[in-house]
Amino acid sequence: MKELSQIVLPKDISYTQNHEWLRQEGDEAVVGVSDYAQDQLGEIVFAELPAAGDAFGQGQAFGTLESVKAVSEIYMPVAGEITAINEDLRNDPASINTDPYGKGWLIRLKPDNSDDQKKLMGRAAYLEMVKGKQ
């Protein structure tokens, strides 16, 4: 596992307590799991994701990631409707491990309420939370 100093945490995205990240892109948002989360999970071998058009509330489970260690639920950082899923993960789920903020994104969504994002953490707050788990 990586040392905390090796964990990549971009400043331009928001984080949840469950280790998902959200990056706003126009009127849509992209969601994935943090570098810390993928490192803790180990090699990811399967991603179960919802279908485009499905809607979830903030904090609701929307899928699972299966690694060689465990199966973990993934949760919506904000309420909204799924507009796209990363189809490439069907053939290459390990891209979540190698590029969690790029090729390893999970879903795109249209958020229901812009206030939901205010409940998320910035980089510094997320890093402090992760340090507390060490």
Give residue-wise pLDDT tens across range 64-107.
999 998 999 999 999 999 999 999 999 999 999 999 999 999 99
pLDDT at 1 over 90: no
Taking the C-alpha atoms of residue 131 and residue 25, their distance in angstroms, rounded to an integer, is 29
Taking the C-alpha atoms of residue 27 and residue 70, their distance in angstroms, rounded to an integer, is 34
pLDDT in the model for residue 133: 76
pLDDT at 134 over 70: no
> What token pair was written down for 8?
């990549």
> What token pair was written down for 132?
């507390």
pLDDT at 15 over 90: yes
Taking the C-alpha atoms of residue 55 and residue 118, their distance in angstroms, rounded to an integer, is 20
- Contact, 65 vs 58, CB < 8 A? no
How far from chain centre, in Å, is Cα 85? Answer: 12
Taking the C-alpha atoms of residue 105 and residue 121, their distance in angstroms, rounded to an integer, is 18
pLDDT in the model for residue 116: 94
* CATH numbers and ranges of domains, the chain: 14-113 (2.40.50.100)
> Does the model's pTM come out above 0.85?
yes
Q: How many C-beta atoms surround the C-beta of residue 109 within 10 A?
A: 27
Taking the C-alpha atoms of residue 89 and residue 24, their distance in angstroms, rounded to an integer, is 21
Give residue-wise pLDDT tens across range 20-61.
999 999 999 999 999 999 999 999 999 999 999 999 999 999
Is the torsion defined by CA of 72, 55, 121, 86 positive or negative? positive
